[in-house]
Chain A
Amino acid sequence: MSDHAMLEIRHYSKSYGAGKKAVDDVSLSVERGDIYGFIGHNGAGKSTTIRAVVGVLDFTEGEITIDGHSVRDEPMACKRVTAYIPDNPDLYENLTGIQYLNFVADVFGIGAAEREARIRKYADLFEITNDLGDLIGAYSHGMKQKLAIISALIHRPKLLVLDEPFVGLDPKATYALKEIMRDMCRQGTAVFFSTHVLDVAEKLCNKVAIIKRGRIVASGPMEALTEGHSLEQAFLEADGDE
């Protein structure tokens, strides 16, 4: 196993124009097998950080590496091992679900038999197999979210990045996704996700970072951060401390 972290963010900052810094000097490290929760208020800088990690947002300050590759200098090497599920997936509305999954599978060069098996497995799990022949435009928000999750899992990423993944999912799908995340971590995949559902983060994550107004105010292993209390208490303390 290589010695570098799966995701390493060092002194990352992002400001828009002459406005205030949306993210200020964020550093964190996600190891293989970690489920890393990224917690903060709305507008705290979670999505800005995540979008820079997955290579969507340009940045000038700091460094982000995935599996030892720089997101800025080697974006392709990073993207090949990463899967991203946005909070509000904008998918091609006029493709059918199956056409979209095939598109992503084609991009990652997944073989026909392999893709069929994975699509079958995850579509059954999320109960959207019957809907894959319909246009995405006809899907509900939850169904689009499920399709985005399946497309993210289709190429077995080493790093799974999710922005508020549980919003819009029904309880069964939420449970399925949590199980998938745990299962992937057991196989060495790193999961980095943002949420404001503290209960989920507490039960699911082994590490957590709390971001407030663009700055990390607390981070580390869950046990060390909560010190026997609940994550909610730790979050409220960190929120009030700054």
Chain B
Amino acid sequence: MNNGMVLLKALLLSTSQRNIYRHTKDKKKRRRIVGNAIGVAWLYAVIVAFSIAMCVGYGKFGLIRAAPTLCALMISALAFVFTLFRTNGYLFNFREYDMLMSLPFESRTVAACRFLYMYVRNLPWYLSVSLATLVGYGIYARPPVAAYPVWLALSLFLPILPMLAAAFLGFLIARISAGFRRTGLVQTVLTMALVILCFSLRFILEDVFRNNRVQAVLRTVSALTGNAAKGYLPAGWFADAVARLSVPAMLLLVGASALAFAAVFRIVGRSYRRINSAMKSHAAAGRYRVAAQKRRSVVAAIAFKEFRRLTGSTAYMVNGAMGVILALLVGAVALVVGPDRIIRAITHGAPIDSVMLRPAIPYIVYFFTGMVATTACSPSLEGRNYWILQSLPIEKKTVYQGKMLFNLALTVPFTALSILCLCVASKAPLLDSALYLALGAALCAFSTAWGCVCGIRHMRLDWENEIEVIKQSAAVAVYMLPNMFAVMGLAVLAVFLGTKMGPRLPTLAMIAVATGAAALCYRRVMILSRRRA
């Protein structure tokens, strides 16, 4: 076995839940592994059900021919987004860097193995989409038998190119940031800019496709996916390989993936050590003079610690603060271009105007600001430093109050500013605006306390990489999924009730509900903090 394979095997084994289950003596840990496995299996089932339902819908409407392209696009988009958020933490700046680099591995071997590790770990998600779509495709398109193994084999290659693209972008950001004294700050700013650009590109692309649709002769979903396949060649190669059993298309997908892999890691390997050295080292001016110090209350001190924790980590900052920045951007864009234009762009010209949508303003803003509550991941983020809080003379409830205070300090100002922008842009009456602001604050309070409940209940301190806590933890999933679905439903309900009885009564009622829910969650936090003291 070559060294690359030895390393990859060790990486996979080191995070294998089965390995932990087999060797741990901690019964609680074992129970948690079983619980996580059930949760993951449930998520797989949801993805499979969604993909099959999509194919059934396509089959019913006679659009099944577009299924391979759509499958390729879905897997590619998932692979790109998953990798983009994880490059820093998985590829660069990981904990065991010193240990690995002191062993006889080439820099590019370490980088490539970290990438392959990410690929193998995420492959089951991509394959669940692929297999489920294949089932629907098999039922409705009745392809030749050879199409099945081709589909399955090429599904293994589909995520590679988008993953490489995301990893390479992450590498470029890291490479540029490494040239600055404040590496972390530059990396955070560049990553955020890239994520915002990706969000914007989604709308730009949608707009392109919509324009094409207006002009094109074919006004079908097939035409849209066809356009997408032309824009993103690997999706077209996959569709050709599956539908026409085209050998050149198969070779193109496999060959391009292999070539891109070799090229990317040749380039990454050259500056890998330099980038990691810059990221793991901190500039030391050594010129500090002790001056007057500021005294804070215990709760404020913990909140400040949380602030430093957020701003000190690119991964945490990008995930934790992205929502509030997007909320502010939405508000600013509404002010500049006008809310009606945005509504037209999002609703594809449906007969909805800004006056009708006004009651939904707090929910639209909360959709972004409540996307991630820092309180959902910050208890787990204490990780190996948990002993510091444990050994200090602070009650657990004070710790959680500090964490909640920080989340409020982060979300309330951005929420308020964004709501104000949208209210001004949509010319909302003063009283309505005040009510929307109050509702926004109540929703932030709920999000903070609910996040804290999830964070305490699903606290996990033995993580290897903070991304596991920030993006993949049970606490974040339990917090986010119901929260996001509920807010979308509430937005629709608010618009509906607004047209029937005006916006004020439903908003007042919702302020009461959100405040009550926040109070209940806060109480729960206090109970949990006593139980786990």
Contacts and interface: CB of A to CB of B under 8 A. Distances in A.
B14 A80 contact: no
Contacts of B181: 16-19
Interface residues of A, number: 39
A56 B98 contact: yes
Interface string A74-99: 01100110101010011111111001
Contact of A58 (B14, B103, B274): B274
A82 B102 contact: yes
B102 to A, nearest CB: 4
Contact of B286 (A19, A90, A92): A19
Contacts of A91: 96, 99
B283 interface: yes
B462 A86 contact: no
Nearest to B464: A93
A62 interface: no
Interface stretch (B1-9, B166-174, B224-232): B1-9
B19 A103 contact: no
A180 interface: no
Interface in B14-41: 14-16, 19-20, 23-26
Contacts, number: 113
A18 B283 contact: yes
B32 to A, nearest CB: 13
Contact of B284 (A22, A56, A89, A138): A22
Nearest to B181: A17
B236 to A, nearest CB: 41
A104 B14 CA distance: 13
Contacts of A86: 98-99, 102
Interface in A1-52: 16-20, 22, 43, 51
The main secondary structure of chain B at its interface with chain A is: loop
B98 A134 contact: no
A79 B103 contact: yes
B427 interface: no
Interface string A119-152: 0000000000000011101100000000000000
A57 interface: yes
Contacts of B42: none
Given A20-B285, A94-B16, A94-B19, A80 B104 contact: yes
A57 B277 contact: yes
B10 interface: yes
B7 A107 contact: yes
Q: How large is the interface on B (under 10, 10 to 19, 20 to 34, 35 or more residues)?
A: 35 or more
Nearest to B7: A107
A91 B103 CA distance: 13
A77 to B, nearest CB: 9
B459 to A, nearest CB: 16
B458 interface: no
A56 B274 CA distance: 9
A54 interface: yes
A72 to B, nearest CB: 9
Nearest to B180: A17
Contacts of B13: 92, 94-95, 99
B397 interface: no
B6 A94 contact: no
B286 A16 contact: no
A138 B24 contact: yes
B96 A92 contact: yes
A175 interface: no
B105 interface: yes
Contacts of A168: none
B101 A55 contact: yes
A16 B284 contact: yes
A19 B287 CA distance: 10
A95 B464 CA distance: 12
Given A17-B181, A58-B277, A86-B98, A103 B6 contact: yes
Contacts of B6: 103, 106-107
Nearest to A213: B286
Contacts of B278: 58
Given A58-B274, A95-B19, A134-B23, A17 B283 contact: yes
Nearest to A84: B102
Nearest to A82: B102
B283 A138 contact: no
Contacts of A54: 101-102
Interface string A186-226: 00000000000000000000000000000000000000000
Contacts of A93: 14, 462, 464
Interface string B301-333: 000000000000000000000000000000000
B20 A135 contact: yes
A134 B104 CA distance: 26
Nearest to B272: A58
B348 interface: no
A133 B24 CA distance: 9
B24 A92 contact: no
Interface of A: 16-20, 22, 43, 51, 54-58, 75-76, 79-80, 82, 84, 86, 89-96, 99, 103-104, 106-108, 133-135, 137-138
11 contacts: A17-B283, A19-B285, A51-B98, A76-B104, A89-B99, A94-B16, A95-B10, A106-B10, A107-B103, A134-B23, A137-B462
Given A106-B6, A108-B104, 6 more contacts: A51-B98, A56-B101, A56-B277, A76-B104, A80-B104, A95-B14
